[in-house]
Amino acid sequence: MEYRKASANYQAGLVIYRTDPPPNSSVISPNAYDSQQDLTNRIGTDIWMLNLDSYNYGQSRSTGSMSLGAGKSATLHSGNIGITLASSSDTSAVVNITRRESNNLSKPILTSTNTWRSPDALILDSSYNNSLSAIEGFEADIDGVIQAITPSKVEGWSPTYLDPFTEPKVLKLEDLPEGQYLLSIRVKSYLGNWSPWSDKVNVNIDRAAPIMGSDYAISKVESGKVFVELSGIRDLGSGLCSSQLVNPEGWILEKSTLKAKPQFSFGSGDIKSMALQVFDCLGNGRAASITGQSAFTPAVDLKLSGKWISAGNLFPAGSLKCLGRCTAYSKSTGVAGLVLGSGSAKFSVVGASAKSVVSNRSGDSFRVESISLGNRAKTAKVTGSNFVLIGIARAKVTITNISDANFFASESDPSLEEPIQSVLNRYGFNSADFASEWRITPMARGTTLEDPTLDLCSAQYDSELLRKERRQVVANKSENPYLFLSSESVRYKSIAAADQALKEVKLSYSNCIKNSGGTERDGLFTKYEFLELPPLPSNLITPSNSVIVHAKIGEDSSTRYLFGAYQYNGDLFTGLYVVSGATRPFSQEELKRWLDVAVIMAERLKS
Q: Give domain limits for the chain.
A: 2-99, 113-205, 207-407, 409-606
User: In whole numbers, what is the pLDDT of the chain averaged over residues?
Assistant: 88
Of 314, 298, 321, 309, which is closest to residue 363 (Cα–Cα)? 314
Q: How far is CA 523 from CA 177, 454, 504, 557, in A?
A: 60, 16, 19, 19
Q: How confident is the model at residue 117 (pLDDT cuts 50, 70, 90)?
A: confident
pLDDT for residue 12: 77
Of 193, 171, 174, which is closest to residue 184 (Cα–Cα)? 171
Residues of the chain with pLDDT > 90, as a percent, come to 63
Q: Are 580 and 483 in contact (CB under 8 A)?
A: yes
Output Rg (C-alpha) for the chain, integer angstroms: 31
pLDDT for residue 20: 57
pLDDT for residue 136: 86
Distance of CA 268 to the CA centre of its chain: 27
Q: Are 369 and 264 in contact (CB under 8 A)?
A: no
pLDDT for residue 27: 53
Residues of the chain with pLDDT > 70, as a percent, come to 90
Q: How far is CA 8 from CA 56, 62, 71, 554, in A?
A: 16, 13, 21, 43
Write down the CATH number for the domain with range 409-606.
3.40.1000.70
Residue 49, φ and ψ in degrees, nearest 5: -100, 135
**3-class DSSP state of 139:** strand
Please check the confidence at residue 133 and state whether its pLDDT lies above 70.
Answer: no
Separation of alpha carbons 523 and 89, rounded Å? 50
Q: How far is CA 451 from CA 23, 429, 464, 496, 565, in A?
A: 19, 19, 9, 21, 19
Q: How confident is the model at residue 463 (pLDDT cuts 50, 70, 90)?
A: very high
Give the predicted TM-score (pTM) of the model: 0.74
Separation of alpha carbons 474 and 395, rounded Å? 37
Q: How confident is the model at residue 3 (pLDDT cuts 50, 70, 90)?
A: confident
Separation of alpha carbons 187 and 184, rounded Å? 11
Beta bridge partners of 265: 227
Judged on CB neighbours under 10 Å (0-12, 13-18, 19+), 85 is buried
Q: How confident is the model at residue 42 (pLDDT cuts 50, 70, 90)?
A: very low
Q: Higher model confidence: residue 575 or residue 165?
A: 575
Q: Higher model confidence: residue 284 or residue 31?
A: 284
Q: Are 243 and 261 in contact (CB under 8 A)?
A: no
Lowest mean pLDDT across 126-130, 277-281, 522-526: 126-130
Lowest mean pLDDT across 163-167, 358-362, 462-466, 523-527: 163-167
Strand ranges across the sheet with 517-519: 439-442, 467-476, 484-492, 572-581, 560-569, 546-553, 525-530, 517-519
Cβ atoms within 10 Å, residue 544: 8
CATH class of 113-205: mainly beta
Of 132, 133, 116, 5, which is closest to residue 65 (Cα–Cα)? 5
Q: What tens digit of pLDDT does each residue of 201-225 get? A: 999 888 888 999 999 999 999 988 9
Separation of alpha carbons 408 and 277, rounded Å? 13
Report the b/e string of 409-445 with b at 16+ CB within 10 A. bbeebebbeeeebeebbebbbebebbbbebbbbbbbb
Q: Give the max Cα distance, the chain.
A: 111
Pairing of strands 217-222, 365-385: antiparallel
Q: How confident is the model at residue 38 (pLDDT cuts 50, 70, 90)?
A: low
**Beta strand spans in 66-120 (E):** 73-75, 81-88, 93-99
Beta bridge partners of 61: 58
Q: How confident is the model at residue 160 (pLDDT cuts 50, 70, 90)?
A: low
Q: Higher model confidence: residue 523 or residue 197?
A: 197
Pairing of strands 525-530, 546-553: antiparallel
Report the b/e string of 242-265 with b at 16+ CB within 10 A. bbbbbbebbbbbeebebebbbbbb
pLDDT for residue 11: 72
Q: What tens digit of pLDDT does each residue of 333-379 get? A: 999 999 999 999 999 998 888 999 999 999 999 999 999 999 899 99
Lowest mean pLDDT across 129-138, 288-297, 425-434, 574-583: 129-138
pLDDT for residue 72: 84
Please check the confidence at residue 478 and state whether its pLDDT lies above 80.
Answer: yes
**3-class DSSP state of 605:** helix
Distance of CA 461 to the CA centre of its chain: 31
Separation of alpha carbons 294 and 268, rounded Å? 5
pLDDT for residue 562: 97
Please check the confidence at residue 102 and state whether its pLDDT lies above 90.
Answer: no
Q: Are 392 and 218 in contact (CB under 8 A)?
A: no
Judged on CB neighbours under 10 Å (0-12, 13-18, 19+), 22 is exposed
Q: How confident is the model at residue 41 (pLDDT cuts 50, 70, 90)?
A: very low
**Beta strand spans in 436-505 (E):** 439-442, 467-476, 484-492
Q: What tens digit of pLDDT does each residue of 63-78 get? A: 777 788 888 888 876 6
Separation of alpha carbons 373 and 49, rounded Å? 72
Average pLDDT over residues 183-201: 91
Please check the confidence at residue 44 and state whether its pLDDT lies above 50.
Answer: no
Q: Which helix (H) or strand (E) holds 127?
A: helix 126-131
